[in-house]
């Protein structure tokens, strides 16, 4: 198990490409979902300095807050509500350049300005989402989408 991440410089692609194998090594053979999601959140926050990053897991018909890094967060989110609930309902990544323009955005923090939410699938069903918030407008793009979807596909195999 790795104890420290190697800082990678370069483009966003370079950072994601260098971080992914480190996350795989960090997880190793660990089977505990909470530990793994916690370390993934911490690794991404350390590499990119995201304002907030974490997981919501589907439990009893709603998204329930899981491991995260950042300020306190909303605990439960209904299907179809906010960006996380929209990603769950639509079963696809939702990228929001300006959360103030997203109808029904749930403002866990007024400092959040843009967001990307990527669903986690198990047996063809959404079982959770990765939620990443920035305190800057238009912080996320197709590069983030591509790499976070790849990461979430790998994470889904751990669930």
- Which domains does the chain carry? 50-156 (3.30.450.40)
Q: Report which of residues 28 and 108 the model is more confident about.
A: 28
Tell me whether strands 125-134 and 62-69 are parallel, antiparallel or unpaired. unpaired
Tell me whether strands 114-122 and 94-96 are parallel, antiparallel or unpaired. antiparallel
What span, in angstroms and rounded, lies between the C-alpha atoms of 53 and 24? 18
Asked if pLDDT for residue 3 goes beyond 70, the answer is no
The tens digit of pLDDT for each residue in 76-135 reads 999 999 999 999 999 999 999 998 888 777 777 777 889 999 999 999 999 999 999 999
The pTM for the full model equals 0.92
159 pLDDT tier (thresholds 50, 70, 90)? confident
Compute the C-alpha angle 70/41/10, nearest 5°: 100
Token readout for 112 is 């959040």
Asked if pLDDT for residue 69 goes beyond 80, the answer is yes
């Amino acid at each position: 198990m790795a104890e420290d991440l190697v800082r990678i410089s370069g483009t966003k692609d370079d950072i994601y490409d260098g971080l992914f194998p480190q996350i795989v090594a960090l997880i190793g053979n660990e089977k505990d979902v909470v530990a793994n999601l916690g370390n993934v959140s911490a690794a991404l926050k350390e590499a990119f300095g995201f304002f907030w990053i974490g997981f919501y897991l589907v439990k009893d018909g709603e998204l329930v807050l899981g491991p995260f890094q950042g300020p306190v967060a909303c605990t439960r989110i209904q299907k179809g509500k906010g960006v996380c609930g929209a990603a769950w309902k639509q079963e696809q990544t939702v990228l929001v350049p300006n959360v103030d323009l997203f109808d029904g955005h749930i403002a866990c923090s007024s400092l959040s300005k843009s967001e990307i939410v990527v669903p986690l699938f198990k047996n063809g069903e959404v079982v959770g989402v990765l939620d990443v918030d920035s305190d800057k407008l238009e912080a996320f793009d197709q590069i983030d989408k591509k790499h976070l979807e790849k990461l979430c596909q790998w994470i889904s195999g751990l669930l």
